[in-house]
């Protein structure tokens, strides 16, 4: 279930089909947040334009610092939730990707977050 609680992305469920920066760093579900040194407002534009250009994603919510998108797989049309939360104070972007159905995702959410991180970091470096 996507969302924010106490200013943080929700933790992953017990199933292994989710990764998040909200998990303990010792957890297999943990992914590192994305650091940034530019304006949070510039990052908002980067995030919006990145997901607008990705055909597999549908915008659910784009707020001031919280973004929620749905990813639909090509073959089986499974829907996964991808969330980003900009933390201007800490200068990091939190990210969470979770499958809505099933138990195991064969590492799909971790790969997805890895691609998103790489692409957004490239766009940040171009600022």
- Looking at residue 40, which CATH number applies to its domain? 3.30.310.80
DSSP letter for 107, please: T
**How many domains, in total, are found in the chain?**
1
Does position 1 have pLDDT exceeding 80, yes or no?
no
Q: Are 101 and 77 in contact (CB under 8 A)?
A: no
Tokens of 40: 């949070």
Tens-digit pLDDT profile for residues 59-111: 999 999 999 999 998 888 889 999 999 999 999 999 999 999 988 899 999 99
Tell me, what's the pLDDT at 73?
Answer: 87
Tens of pLDDT, residues 14-55: 999 999 999 999 999 999 999 999 899 999 999 999 999 999
Residue 91, domain member (yes or no) = yes
Range of the structural domain that residue 89 is part of: 18-125
- Helix count and strand count (H, E) for the chain: 2, 8
Question: Of the candidates 7, 37, 9, 43, which has an alpha carbon nearest to the alpha carbon of residue 23?
Answer: 9
């Amino acid at each position: 279930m996507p969302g924010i609680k106490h200013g943080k992305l929700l933790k992953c469920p017990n199933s292994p089909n989710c990764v998040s920066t909200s998990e303990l760093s010792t957890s297999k579900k943990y992914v590192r947040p994305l650091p940034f040194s530019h304006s949070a407002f510039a990052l908002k534009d980067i995030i919006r334009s990145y997901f607008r250009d990705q055909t597999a994603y549908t915008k659910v919510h784009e707020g001031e610092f919280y973004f929620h998108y749905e990813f639909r797989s090509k073959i089986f049309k499974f829907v996964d939730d991808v969330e980003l939360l900009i933390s201007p104070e800490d200068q990091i972007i939190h990210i969470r990707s979770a499958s809505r159905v099933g138990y195991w995702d064969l590492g799909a959410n971790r790969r997805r977050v890895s691609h998103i991180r790489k692409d957004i970091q490239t766009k940040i470096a171009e600022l």
